[in-house]
Amino acid sequence: MKKVFRIAIILAAVGLVAAALVWKFYVNKPHEDIDSATPAYSMATEDIWKQYNENPKTADSLYTGKVIELTGNFTRVDKNDSLVSVIFVMAADSLFGDKTISCQMYQKHNDEASALKAGTPVKIKGYCTGYNDPDIKFNKCSITK
């Protein structure tokens, strides 16, 4: 009986150490700093839009989960509470809503994004969260110079 109790104590200790390591290195890992990250791709908004419309699955596998730098003439800035999004309207559709590339800004870049004038060229770096037909979504975005 002592032998079984000893084995149970050892297994419990190993389990606690394993759980602590998983928590420290997997669950509690720091978030990637998108502001200082090197983009995996740099492209025009028209290029990424074309790729997503030709083959959404292939484009999703290439771009989702990656930091991408986009260049283009934006259409408008949307403000919703503390969230500011820079919107590139790629196809106007009055019936179902515009088809867009939406870049949700980091809160620290809200003032800079709000000061942009519609129709001017801008370069934005952000984390691609994928294609939500008919929109391509980015978050954690910042304006790059």
Q: What is the mean pLDDT of residues 33-56?
A: 88
Q: Is 87 helix (H, G, I), strand (E, B) or coil?
A: strand
Task: Strands of the chain (E only): list them.
Answer: 41-44, 67-73, 76-80, 83-91, 99-105, 121-132, 135-144
Is residue 24 located within the same domain as residue 54? no
Question: Is pLDDT above 80 for 97?
Answer: no
Q: Which residues of 80-114 are buried (b: 16+ CB within 10 A; e: fewer)?
A: eeeebbbbbbbeeeeeeebbbbbbbbbeebbeebe
75, 49: one domain: yes
Same structural domain, 7 and 74 = no
Locus of tokens 């500011």? 84
In a domain, 86, yes or no: yes
Q: Write down the residue that tokens 């669950």 correspond to.
A: 27
Q: What is the pLDDT of residue 95?
A: 67
Structural domain contains residue 35: no
- Do residues 23 and 50 both lie within one domain? no
Domain region containing 11: 1-30
Tokens of 29: 């890992």
Is pLDDT at 29 greater than 70 in this prediction?
A: no
Determine the straight-line distance between the first and last CA of the chain, rounded to whole angstroms. Answer: 70
| 133 lies in the same domain as 92 | yes
What is the rounded distance in angstroms from the CA atom of residue 48 to the CA atom of residue 21?
39
So what's the pLDDT on residue 94?
62
- Check residue 67 and give its pLDDT: 94
112-145 pLDDT, tens digit each: 888 888 888 999 999 999 888 788 999 999 988 6
